[in-house]
Amino acid sequence: MIDAIERIMKHDVAGDPISGLRWTRRTRSRIARQLTKSGIPIGTTTVGVLLKKMDFSLRVNRKKLCSGNQTPEKRRIRNRQFGNIRRTREQFAQQGDPVVSVDTKKKELVGNFKNSGSTWEHEPRPVHDHDFPSDATGKGIPRGLYDVRRNTGYVCVGTSHDTAEFAVDSITSWWQNSGKFEYENAKNLLILADSGGSNAANSKMWKYYLQTRLCNPHKLSVTVCHYPTGASKWNPIEHRLFGRISKNWEGVPLQTLETMLKYIRTTVTETGLKVKALLNRKEYATKQKLTKDQAKELNIQHHTNLPKWNYTIKPKNAK
């Protein structure tokens, strides 16, 4: 029954990467009607009970948006992009090609610091009363990838900076160590990403490193679809991977990088989620700018539908 609900809502679920709670735009009655039509008679009350078991929660309105910020035109464009992402995901899935969701989790100070949540202990663990970076032995930057089709996660924990180069290196690491074996004949890859951060839609370095480190060496045609600004909670990685990791290590001080990696690797769910994790100690330079010679390397095709958020990068010598 839970699997059936998951299939119905797979494109309409958002979540909190810290608490792990999820929510959906679909109502209980609408879910019940769709299940009944598919041959599973069920009432709205039962749907509510199952949603609670699946870590969904009721949400109330919050006064957080500035008046006039979301114009009807912006909402229309936002909905167009959600529809485009849904269609593109289904197209790649039908072709048997990989669909991955990527993002960077909250940076974590490494040391004896308080971690939200609670654990069963004989006595509470003493931790620092303030989170001063000077008391930390370092920092961990979990750059994650969630394989939507296989329900698996891959996390590279960096110790330097969250840059476009680090973002692409993490995806390339997944492809070299897992992706090319799991999708042996794949020539196309779909990446779902936020519109900001190290994988920003307007980042030229993000596109350059995708071209030179992923597309060209591995002969992959990479399509990228960005979620609209302010819609990162709908990115699958947030609630299907990051929320689960946060729940797994809640209440545990991340005293070492090894502790962080251990709890990422041991993150599992009843639906079969498995996660791989590795450490990346490479130093990444910040404030990089695309040169004219580097710009000539790009073999990018912007889609006719919302080209700012949707584009395909092909290997340099591909037609």
Q: Is the pLDDT of residue 70 over 60?
A: yes
* 319: Cβ contacts below 8 Å, ≥ 6 apart: none
Distance from C-alpha of 243 to C-alpha of 233, rounded to nearest angstrom: 11
Neighbours of 21 (CB within 10 A): 15
pLDDT band at 244 (very low <50, low <70, confident <90, very high): very high
* 209: Cβ contacts below 8 Å, ≥ 6 apart: 164, 165, 167, 168, 169
Q: Is the pLDDT of residue 24 over 90?
A: no
CATH architecture for segment(s) 76-313: 2-Layer Sandwich (3.30)
Quote the pLDDT of residue 4.
72
pLDDT tens, position by position, 250-272: 888 898 999 999 999 999 998 89
pLDDT tens, position by position, 303-314: 999 999 999 999
Q: Answer yes or no: are the C-beta atoms of 170 and 215 closer than 8 Å.
A: no
Q: Is the pLDDT of residue 14 over 70?
A: no
| Domain segments of the chain as ranges | 2-58, 76-313
Q: Which two tokens stand for residue 13?
A: 């679920």
